[in-house]
Structure 1
Amino acid sequence: MAHIRKNPTSTFLLIGIFYLTSCADGGHEFDATGTFEADETVISAEASGKILSFKIDEGQQLSRNQYVGYVDTTQLSLSKAQLKAQVRAVLSRKPDISSQLAALNEQLKAAKKEKERIENLLKSDAATPKQLDDVEAQINLINGNIRGLRTSLVNNTNSLDQEIGPLEAQVLQVDDLIIKSKIINPIQGTVLSVYAEPYEQVGAGQPLYRIADLNELTLKVYISGDQFSQVKLNEKVSVFTDDGSGGYRETSGTIYWISEKAEFTPKSVQTKNERANKVYAVKVRVKNDGSYKIGMYGEVTF
């Protein structure tokens, strides 16, 4: 999936003139004026390589988790194949403990039978105690050989397992990079800008496109200190935009953020005196039926 990096809308946002006192225009008085913006997200590549497929255009609607392209994974696949071959080579050196102990276990089994035979012969004085001592010594020797060989084989197996561990971890890392080579759109929204094209070479972290959910926009306005006490979070306000016929189109919005820190009026305000005023930023969330665009001017009344 592509890497996400949040990006403010300063590139597209033109902050208008914000009236810190009520202004009259065609009989309408507004408490503040500002421009619409959106929460934008820059989607970046998570893998390095050549883009072999990239199917998006500006203005295109994308759904969450939609596949939009992929970066070449040829070298990653070759690296994975090489690592798996190394794992198989190490596994081939792992001893088969049971088969390597089989011969000694057969010797032990035969020695135990011989001990039973000698014990039976001793009961009829057909064997000597020394014969019994010899076979018991042989059994003890075989048991010691079994324990020693088993310990050696187990240690060898554990050593090879430790050798395999890092290789398997590298396989998982390559698998993760292969997954990240797929460009998966993480959020629903509209493509605002495209920064890459098919067959371009990209690096991890390189921006591919910018997207924003335009179903809901933010009208950012500034208010004076006198107005600060008049607004509160979650308050409904009236939002006005030009209707294209010299009038206004009205809708409602909700205040969801109020800055607690005063700042100077933005430099886009036309007069030096107005820019010297201290103001507070207010963000109003507005449902968008397609009529509102990023950078469009809007007015509010509280």
Structure 2
Amino acid sequence: MKKILGLIALGVVLILALIVSQNHTEPFKVSGFIEADDIRPGSRVGGRVKQVLINEGQQVIRGELLIELEPYDLLERRAEAEAALAEAKAYHSKLVAGFRPEEIAEASAKVDQLKARLTLLVNGPRRQEIESAVAELRLADAQYRLAKSQQSRIETLFAEKTASQDELDTANTELQVAAARKAVKEQALELLKEGTRKEEIDEARAQLTQAEDAWQLMKNGSRREDIEQAAATVKKTEANLQTIEKQISELKITSPADGVVEAVDLEPGDLVGSNVPVVSILDLDQLWVRCYVPENHLDIHVDQKVKVTIDSYPDREFAGVISFVSRQAEFVPRNVQTPEERSKQVFRVRVRLQNQERLLRPGMSADVWLDQTGDRS
């Protein structure tokens, strides 16, 4: 009886072992290579290299200056743009504020002055002005005749050698001055007798009209259209300054992320084109494995945790997370009819790795173990 019970117990154990062995599946392994995002910063403006501040293999952080280009005339253009903006803002502020009371009063006084001048020109010279001019001419004529008489007397004495050359020269000069003064008075009297010319009246009237318009503009204040145009000019100059500032900022090429300089081949004096990458930076903190999974093992999903082994570290396992599964198969045969042929279809998968210890590097071969539990047996 005991022998029979022992056989039964042995049979149960064998059956359980068979069931466990049938339910247990070996984890599926796919191979690939570790990759990293290759960041290639550059400049939108280009130019000549001023200084290179990095070397290959150097660790850099986000925002760190890598390469600087020569500014050429950008700094002068910025200064001109700043001055133009200040001028535009001042003019706009002046239009908005309007004219000061003293400026309006000054314009009003100018109008009154031009009105008085126009009235004088239209009315012509007064009788008293003509009489005064006649009297001035008579006085100038008397002075001329006196100078003429004096010059004749000195000339006679000089001929008799009783007057010096200096006395004769002085007499001649006084005669010339008296003659010129008499001619001026004669011309002034003739102008008064002729009256004001039409051209002078027209010119005075035009000056008065212009002054009145300016005075009225000051009283009314600036027009809305002028203020809007001045505001538009301010915006235009601001945009121009911002463009130049952006170009100046592009002269300094900085690292867009933390990483390691993979390649740089520039020296001061080299020319760099616009929008051309100048350095290669690898982000070693966020590495990933590119691998291809057959269709019959595609029971995986994004955010699934997996184990990753690296040939360079055979005794270690690294944690990975599936971050991408392609929706389209690759390497598809022309005719897919059997399950064996369908297994030839593969889907691209990306497995993200953590690399805080910096043991992993792009290019290393890696094995990704795909099993439901994420454990290797």
Q: TM-score range by the shorter chain?
A: 0.5 to 0.7
1:3 corresponds to: none
- In structure 2, give the amino acid aligned to 1:280: F
Query: Which structure features the higher share of helix residues?
Result: 2
**Which residue, out of 102, 106, 112, partners 1:103?**
106
Query: Which structure features the higher share of strand residues?
Result: 1
**Which residue, out of 261, 275, 291, partners 2:328?**
261
- Work out the percentage of aligned pairs sharing the same amino acid: 25
Q: TM-score, normalised by structure 2?
A: 0.53
Taking a change above 3 Å as real, the CA distance of residues 150 and 56 of structure 1, as seen in their structure-2 partners, is farther
> Given the alignment of the two structures, is residue 167 of structure 1 paired with residue 233 of structure 2, yes or no?
no
Gaps of 5+ in 2: 1-25, 111-211, 333-340, 371-377
Cα distance in 1 between the residues matched to 2:305 and 2:226: 73
Query: What is the SS of the residue equivalent to 1:232?
Result: coil
Q: Give a deviation string over 1:230-288, Cα, whole Å, max 9, x none.
A: x22222211111247xx4532221111111110018xxxxxxxx9x9320111111112
2:120 corresponds to: none
The offset of 1:30, in angstroms, is 5.1
> Given the alignment of the two structures, is residue 235 of structure 1 paired with residue 300 of structure 2, yes or no?
no
Query: What is the SS of the residue equivalent to 1:286?
Result: strand
Q: Give a deviation string over 1:164-217, Cα, whole Å, max 9, x none.
A: 543342122112211221222121111112143322122321111111211231
Cα distance in 2 between the residues matched to 1:76 and 1:190: 31
The offset of 1:162, in angstroms, is 4.5
- In structure 1, give the amino acid aligned to 2:362: I
- In the alignment, is the contact (CA less than 8 A) between 1:242 and 1:249 conserved in 2? no
Cα distance in 1 between the residues matched to 2:318 and 2:234: 65
Query: What is the SS of the residue equivalent to 2:324?
Result: strand
- In the alignment, is the contact (CA less than 8 A) between 1:30 and 1:299 conserved in 2? no
Cα distance in 2 between the residues matched to 1:158 and 1:227: 69
> Given the alignment of the two structures, is residue 182 of structure 1 paired with residue 255 of structure 2, yes or no?
no
Q: Which has the larger radius of gyration?
A: 2
**Which residue, out of 359, 368, 372, partners 1:291?**
359
> Given the alignment of the two structures, is residue 41 of structure 1 paired with residue 109 of structure 2, yes or no?
no
1:73 corresponds to: 71
Cα distance in 2 between the residues matched to 1:85 and 1:171: 10
Question: What is the root-mean-square deviation of aligned Cα atoms in Å?
Answer: 3.6
Taking a change above 3 Å as real, the CA distance of residues 278 and 169 of structure 1, as seen in their structure-2 partners, is same
Taking a change above 3 Å as real, the CA distance of residues 291 and 158 of structure 1, as seen in their structure-2 partners, is closer
Gaps of 5+ in 1: 1-27, 108-142, 266-273
Taking a change above 3 Å as real, the CA distance of residues 239 and 76 of structure 1, as seen in their structure-2 partners, is same
**Which residue, out of 368, 373, 376, partners 1:300?**
368
> Given the alignment of the two structures, is residue 282 of structure 1 paired with residue 284 of structure 2, yes or no?
no
Query: What is the SS of the residue equivalent to 1:264?
Result: coil
2:289 corresponds to: 219
- In structure 2, give the amino acid aligned to 1:183: I
The offset of 1:299, in angstroms, is 0.7
